[in-house]
Structure 1
Amino acid sequence: MVGELKAAPDTLRARTAPLLPGLAAALAAVAVALAVHAVVPMMPAMTIAVVLGIVAVNLPGTSALCEGPLRAGLNFAGKHLMRVGIVFLGLKLSLGDIAALGWTTVGVVVALVLLSFAGIYALGRLFRLDGDLPLLIATGFSICGASAIGAMAAVRGTKHRDTVLPVALVTLCGTLAIGVLPLLMNPLGLDALHFGQWVGAGVHDVGQVVATAQTAGPVALAAAIIIKLTRVVLLAPIVGVVGVLERRRHRLRGNAAQAVAGAAGKVKFPPVVPLFVLGFLAMILLRTSGWLPACAVAAGSTAQDIALGAALFGLGASVRVRQLFKTGARATVMALCSWALIAALAFGAVRLMGP
């Protein structure tokens, strides 16, 4: 008995030791990203974290480290810290703020998300993208960027390496939006309020929304954030629907396999809604209840930035630029078309929202 108790810490140490170098590198990258963002607010910290990861794995001096002693920790960050970040993302949402928009505006936003999701998924099939790429890109573009991709990948059981390209593409297009959309504000005849609504409806990641909308002032920023967070709420129901369909598919496949093999064992089904998505919903309810003090909400926001930033650095450190150009050219063109599609749909949604 004593020997088993002594062996347990040794086993835990043996499992965690390989993760520590990569996790330390990811946290250091987050610190750099947050520092750069503090100096240059126009550059979202999460985008910087992805770029740092891509640079690290493609520079001759650090590439061997990323593929060697850091790899286990980077992969852990890209998968598990992403889920932690999604849970804390819920603290940014209050159902009261969304209800204040009015049923018409909320209905328009819901319709926008569903239309953009379906349209981008169809584009992915049209471009003949492999595997879960169409679904992951559609989820990231229509809801909330890398966080949504991580949630959908968990439901689908997508391998970690297959989430790298969708995250890179949603980051690329969201970063382009920061520079391009403000240039279109005056030509499209948008005032600050409507520009903010357009940004909130059409830009992917929350940080990218803030960076883009703040160029038009506080009115635009406030409008963009509330519209964007309304889109984020839809993460749970869309993931839940896909989870039900995925569970049904596994059940049919499992029944067929048992019928052929005569197996008596039970088939393991994927969860309808992953545990971390339930945590995301619980955080929304906590924020809506008003029970949490402002300091707790601020601490949760900081935890979300750290966890998501480390995850995005880990994912970025899996993007080989040469391989991306060879295998991801078709997906890149499809993502740019998707960006144009959601921008057009968002512009139409703004017109429907009225003055």
Structure 2
Amino acid sequence: MPLSRPSSLPPAGGAALRLLPGLLGCAAAVGVALAVHAALPALPAMTAAVVLGLLAANLPGAAGWSAGRGRAGLDFAGKHLMRAGIVVLGLKVSVVDVLGLGWPALLLITAVVLAAFAGTYGISRLFRLPPPVSLLIATGFAICGASAIGAMAAVRRIRQQDTVLPIALVTLCGTLAIGALPLLVGPLRLAPETFGAWAGASVHDVGQVVATAQTAGASALAVAVVVKLTRVLLLAPMVAAAGLHHRRGADGGGRRPPLVPLFVLGFIALAALRSTGWLAPEVLAAAAVLQDGLLGMALFGLGSAVRVRQLLHTGTPALLAALASWLLIAALGLGAAVVLIPAG
């Protein structure tokens, strides 16, 4: 029996090699983003990762690599590593800490999230953005930035290309909040705790909340993190509700989408594990590093798909919608903060 000529690589090995350049680029970008954050603490590492992705997509030389040899790995990171990062994000959410706010505060924060979601979706449609893009913008602005956008895109089966603009907008507006909100503490005569509650209720990404609230001190940061994680906890029920709606509207002749994706169930499971108090601080610290790595690689991959020239040409209505939504959420968050922490 003649021996067949061995192929140079098995199919799985070939696929892995195609992913390798992009994944290595993502890993290197996360290292740079973390270094930038260490040098400039006001700039969250995740924001830096998106900016580096934008540079990779638009600088001569790098643009050819991101569109060609690196594209397979970059797309893999933007989809699959984003989902893995959302799972690990569950280890940041302690239900015990959230419940410590009390039921009136929880209901108020939930109302703010729902109002922000509905208002942002309405504003986006007013500016004639497509429904899928409007849904992603509303989700990211109302809950927890890019992580929420990735989760909603998965459950609604929205194309990865359609997540790029919402993530760019949520990163831009979150960065704007880091610079703008601390400037208003004096004119609005906000106590540190009130400012922290405002940042937690209105800034999009967890890292952006930390960067904003820490300008007012440790007490502001402590309040901001708990309020923000309450919003993060709402990711699971809102994504489940969106999945149920999408499942009911799916064509019965095709494969129906899952009610809740496995990665969202993973998020819930790890949040429950965190809430038991069984995990050592060292484990939580290692999980935080892992989450930063996964989400940073995902955001670099997504940012590398943004062509600035095309964004400037087609993104003006989206930019105006995002700024209007940012003002709406800032106003809602400020009102909630004043109610949560009355002036003493």
Q: What is the TM-score normalised by the length of structure 1?
A: 0.93
**Superposed displacement of residue 11, structure 1:** 2.0
Cα deviations by residue, 1:109-136 (Å, 9 ceiling, x for unpaired):
0110011101111111111101401100
Match of 2:288 in 1: 301
Match of 2:239 in 1: 239
**1:199 aligned partner, one-letter code:** A
* Regions of 4+ moved over 2 Å: none
**1:328 aligned partner, one-letter code:** G
User: Is the counterpart of residue 353 in structure 1 residue 302 in structure 2?
Assistant: no
User: Is the counterpart of residue 330 in structure 1 residue 317 in structure 2?
Assistant: yes
- Partner of 1:339: helix, strand, or coil? helix
Distance in 1 (CA, whole Å) between partners of 2:265 and 2:165 is 26
Cα deviations by residue, 1:279-319 (Å, 9 ceiling, x for unpaired):
00011011001222221111111110000000000011011
Match of 1:248 in 2: 248
Number of residue pairs matched by the alignment = 339
- Partner of 2:258: helix, strand, or coil? coil
Match of 1:189 in 2: 189
Kept after mapping to 1: 8 A contact 2:201/2:228: yes
Kept after mapping to 1: 8 A contact 2:125/2:131: no
Cα deviations by residue, 1:193-242 (Å, 9 ceiling, x for unpaired):
00000000000000000001000100111111000000000000000001
**Superposed displacement of residue 354, structure 1:** 3.5
Kept after mapping to 1: 8 A contact 2:53/2:303: yes
- Partner of 1:163: helix, strand, or coil? helix
User: Is the counterpart of residue 229 in structure 1 residue 216 in structure 2?
Assistant: no
**1:108 aligned partner, one-letter code:** L
Distance in 2 (CA, whole Å) between partners of 1:307 and 1:297 is 15
- Partner of 1:186: helix, strand, or coil? helix
Deviation larger for 285-294 or 188-197: 285-294
Match of 2:275 in 1: 288
**1:126 aligned partner, one-letter code:** L
Aligned 1:72-87 pairs, distance under 5 A:
72-87=72-87
**Superposed displacement of residue 351, structure 1:** 1.9
Match of 2:160 in 1: 160
Match of 2:176 in 1: 176
Kept after mapping to 1: 8 A contact 2:193/2:341: no
- Percent identity, aligned pairs only? 59
User: Is the counterpart of residue 123 in structure 1 residue 110 in structure 2?
Assistant: no
Match of 1:21 in 2: 21
User: Is the counterpart of residue 317 in structure 1 residue 304 in structure 2?
Assistant: yes
Kept after mapping to 1: 8 A contact 2:46/2:296: yes
**2:273 aligned partner, one-letter code:** L
Distance in 2 (CA, whole Å) between partners of 1:26 and 1:45 is 13
**1:310 aligned partner, one-letter code:** M
User: Is the counterpart of residue 276 in structure 1 residue 263 in structure 2?
Assistant: yes
**Superposed displacement of residue 267, structure 1:** 2.3
Match of 1:106 in 2: 106
Distance in 1 (CA, whole Å) between partners of 2:112 and 2:40 is 32
Kept after mapping to 1: 8 A contact 2:49/2:297: yes
Distance in 1 (CA, whole Å) between partners of 2:310 and 2:254 is 37
Match of 1:55 in 2: 55
Distance in 2 (CA, whole Å) between partners of 1:41 and 1:354 is 27
Distance in 1 (CA, whole Å) between partners of 2:177 and 2:226 is 18
**1:24 aligned partner, one-letter code:** L
Q: Which runs of 5+ in 2 are unaligned?
A: none
Q: Which runs of 5+ in 1 are unaligned?
A: 255-265
Deviation larger for 23-32 or 123-132: 123-132
